Structure 1
């Protein structure tokens, strides 16, 4: 049975390899990722994961489709994937010294078209960032294209005081939930 990863994320490929899963194909979904008005962060993550899986399923009917989406949220506010340094500075200043949530939704569509969904929510606490720490992190460029302007698997890990939940979920794919969904869809895993 073929497994198709509906994601362009190299981190998701790396995480899948940790549990011995190598997709047969990688097909990023092309969907509109604009949040709906008033949409809450966990619902937004779940909707995008489902829509990504459904968008790819049409081209690979009879295969297992795996899709995910990660959303960093400060309260009800969905934080963007930062592209500009000033935007990253504002986002990290907002997260400095406080807790926020990272919601990663996973959708698997089985070969028989049955959909299964899981949501992993992790609470992440940043230390209070000094101006120097913020400047050094921004100079690294690691924030570019990252939701919440940081990568927990990189330099930012030293700035995080505590997490409660799934580390791999913050990286982009909660492995416990993903493995369970794949097994339920008929994948044979070791």
Structure 2
């Protein structure tokens, strides 16, 4: 896999340009983008840069982080607070994402998206009001383990860290087996539309966009 150097700002502009020339693959009125990567990667920052680049083009954008869709602590910690398998497939409320984020953006949907559902610090519902994304708008979702759920993304970007960089920059080292499992079972670097090497966040490099 060949990488070329790029800045985060230029990356966001390039992705926005691709999206501006694209139509939703599912026939709906909304484009959907994944910025996939571990917490150690700057996925939230890239999502916000992309949103800004799209807004300058006159597109309405809504950014959702999967950290706002974690399941309650009683479910997340059913097998202990440091179980990597539970972290991999049991922490994020995938059903809620389908129901509250992707469902409203299907063909004939209302466009009413819930920004977040659960506050993991207080361990209670956020009670955030719905946000209406108008037709022609773009949904940008960022977080780990986004690929492999059949979410209807029109563009997928994977932020890749080498095993050594991931281990060095991950605070919760007990989660590392979950990312190894994700790499093996889903192969995000092989399936994403674009892969960004983020070992050094000051000097990203990427594969470019295929197609």
Q: TM-score range by the shorter chain?
A: under 0.3
Task: Name the TM-score, length of structure 2 as normaliser.
Answer: 0.23
Structure number with greater CO (CA < 8 Å, separation at least 6) is 2
Task: Name the TM-score, length of structure 1 as normaliser.
Answer: 0.25
